[in-house]
Amino acid sequence: MSIDPLFRTQSIGTRLTLLNMVIALAALALFAGIIYWRLSINFTTEHQRFLQSKVAELQADLNEAHGDPRALVDEIIKETEGSQLRQYQARVLTSDGQTLGETPGMDHDLPRMAFPDETSESISAKLPLKAIGNRHYALTTVLLHSSGGIDTARVQYALDVTRDEALQTNFRHTLALAFLVLVPVLALAGRWVAAQGLAPLTRITEATRSITPADLSARLALTPPWPEELHELVAVFNAMLTRLEEAFARLSRFSADIAHELRTPLGNLSGELEVCLMRPRATEDYRAAIESGLDECRRLNVLIENLLFMARAEHAEQTLRCQRFDVAHACAWVIEQHAPGATARGIAILLHGDAVIDADPVLFRQALANVLTNAVRHAVAGGEVHVGIMAGPDGVEIRVRDDGEGIDAQHLPHVFDRFYQADAARRRGIGQGTGLGLAIVAAIIDMHRGTVRIESTRGTGTTVIMHFPRLNLQEHAATRHRPA
């Protein structure tokens, strides 16, 4: 099992605690490592400088003694024999490897073989270390030359670096102890910091517990102010609650409207059948009852089809079949379908204008038919209904105007709502009076990404304006066939 999935399942507080602890320890380790490295470099540099100064002194002594290496022995013994804690020890060898002299007692702890075999004229930057008991020495071998440039002697140096090594060892132990102490301290501090940082989320959690389907009016309070990172989240959450409240309200109204709309035809059908069965009747009475029942069934079928269409309208990309066509020809076809009903009331339907439109032909005709049905129904007997077509730079506008009784201003914002009826006494015919006609028009226009509005004044008639934007048919087709 990998660490990453396990880490992702932990709480945010645990993750923040671990991340803070790891980052703090990593920063401390990096800081301590840099200090330790610089300390080690400084010690090495000091060791090198000390040995170089001693080599320079012995080289000067050798030159003054005209190349006699025995003068070096006297100088070394004089500097190193007086104390048991010598800063350094040295051994002088001839060019052929014979020992001329050394610090007293040096051979016991630091034999010749303990020193590096290679020789050089300068002190190496990397000095080998040797531990003898509780002492530590840095070892090196240096060649000295006479004034004539001839190798006269080799000097083996053993620099006592016990204090420096002890200091570095103590430093390492202190770091290890600091890490052991800091792990729980950082864990507790990180937990506290995470708790403080996540406190607003706890507030959000507690506030959302009070929001139930029975009370969607509750909102997250904006005071005291939220942190800047969460302020937008709270605003978006409150906006979502508003949308949910509106959706639940619409759903409740929709369910009540459906029950009401279905109850009426079913009640009519059931009542007529019950009356027919109460006593024997003539054949004409049974026929009339069956025809009336058939009308109610047709009305139910239209209502159900309209409801199914409204449900499918939520997936516009899957239902639209857009193409470019002559809008005047399509309008003339719809007008022809409504001509018999309009003629029966002495209403003339007049068509004006022409344009080319980008839309679904079937849905366009359905939207126009619904608007035209309302216009003919509410127009004054013997009056006129005008269908105007106007092409613009951003699309095509269709205006349907009647000279009927008009609609009161308080009803205008709701005429496109489902099942809304401005006139409760409106006569109900087959496919009419359900309050879905203009809702379907609004859904069709919205599917085309257009706009629809209604203008009306009581007593002067009503105008419905539908705007269909110009569409990129190739882009629309690619979108429509894109897999979900």
H helices of 95-227, where? 106-109, 162-208
42-54: per-residue pLDDT in tens?
888 888 888 888 8
If DSSP codes are grouped into helix, strand and coil, which group holds residue 437? helix
User: Would the CA dihedral through 458, 461, 465, 466 be positive or negative?
Assistant: positive
Sign of CA dihedral 435, 441, 447, 449: negative
C-alpha span between 439 and 83 (Å, rounded): 109
> 0.75 cut: is pTM over it?
no
481 pLDDT higher than 50 = no
Packing angle, helices 437-447 and 283-312, rounded to 10: 30
- Residue type (1 letter), 43: F
User: Does an H or E element contain 25, and which?
Assistant: helix 12-64
Note the pLDDT tens digit of each residue in 56-71: 888 888 888 877 788 8
Q: Which residue's entry shows tokens 């979502």? A: 240
CA-wise closest residue to 386 among 372, 367, 365: 372
Domains (ranges, CATH) in the chain? 3-171 (3.30.450.210), 228-312 (1.10.287.130), 318-480 (3.30.565.10)
320: its two tokens:
């639209």
C-alpha separations of 166 from 6, 43, 135, 163 in Å: 43, 12, 10, 5
Half-sphere exposure of 275 (CA within 13 A, CB side): 14
**Residue pointed to by tokens 């020789």:** 119
Residues 6+ apart with CB under 8 A from 322: 358, 359, 360, 448, 471, 473, 476, 477
pLDDT tens by residue, 334-391? 999 888 888 888 999 999 999 999 888 888 998 998 899 889 988 888 889 999 999 8
Q: What is the mean pLDDT of residues 69-98?
A: 78
Pairing of strands 395-402, 461-469: antiparallel
Coil vs helix vs strand at 227: coil
Nearest to 195 by CA among 3, 20, 5, 22: 20
